[in-house]
Amino acid sequence: MISDHDKSDRNNDGIDSPAILNDLMQNNGVAKDPFGFQIDLKNISSQNLNNLTPQTNPVLNGPFGAVKGSIIRNGTTVTLHPTANAQVRGLIYLNSASPTGSKNAFLVSSSYGKGRVLAIGDSSTIDDGTCRGNDQCYDGWNDPAAQNRALFLNGTAWLAKAI
């Protein structure tokens, strides 16, 4: 799940990406808050993140390399609800946050039944700088302040692995 910041309504229907993802978490026909998190309604303009959870995790230390940080270029955070789902984990946090807390996570992982999910608070991290027409893009994939390539490839490998 890739969210973006508050006021990121790209199709002008009055609904931002955090609201859409939060609606999915609450009104999905399966369970309320199945993955144990919600996307925060924030707009953080820029931060180079190096506040990673102290746990060993295959998304941060996987077959495509070790992740030492990521970036926010107009993004948001995620609040964890471990009482709703004990499997939810914060992996990368804002630099000012506790790397074991439930607030201000930037990247989270969770599982529900046999499913897994990763949620991140900014689309710039996976953007490769290619756009259509006059759209403005950001090359977060190759940003020297982060290891986003390894992050997303490790994450994809973790998501694809059977539980």
- Side chain identity at 116, as an amino acid letter? R
142: its two tokens? 């190759």
Distance between CA atoms of residues 87 and 29, nearest Å: 20
pLDDT tens per residue, range 48-59:
999 999 778 999
- What number of residues does the chain have? 163
Residues of the chain below pLDDT 70: 9, 162-163
pLDDT score of 133: 73
Tokens 């303009």 -> residue: 45
63 HSE (CA, 13 A, CB side): 6
pLDDT for residue 56: 86
Task: Identify the pLDDT of residue 122.
Answer: 93
Nearest Cα neighbor of 155 from 118, 129, 113, 111 is: 118
In 10 A of CB 135, how many CB atoms?
8
If you search the block for the tokens 């977060």, which residue do you land on?
140
Q: How far is C-alpha 149 from the chain's CA centre?
A: 14
In three state form, how does the secondary structure of 103-129 look?
CCEEEEEEEECCEEEEEECCCCCCCCC
Handedness of CA 66, 84, 39, 100 (dihedral sign): negative
Q: What is the pLDDT of residue 9?
A: 65
52 bridge partner residues: 92
Distance separating alpha carbons of residues 129 and 120, to the nearest angstrom: 18
In tens, the pLDDT along 57-87 reads 999 999 999 999 999 998 999 999 999 999 9
**CB neighbourhood size of 108 (10 A):** 27
Amino acid at 81: H
- Model-level pTM? 0.91
**pLDDT value of residue 163:** 43
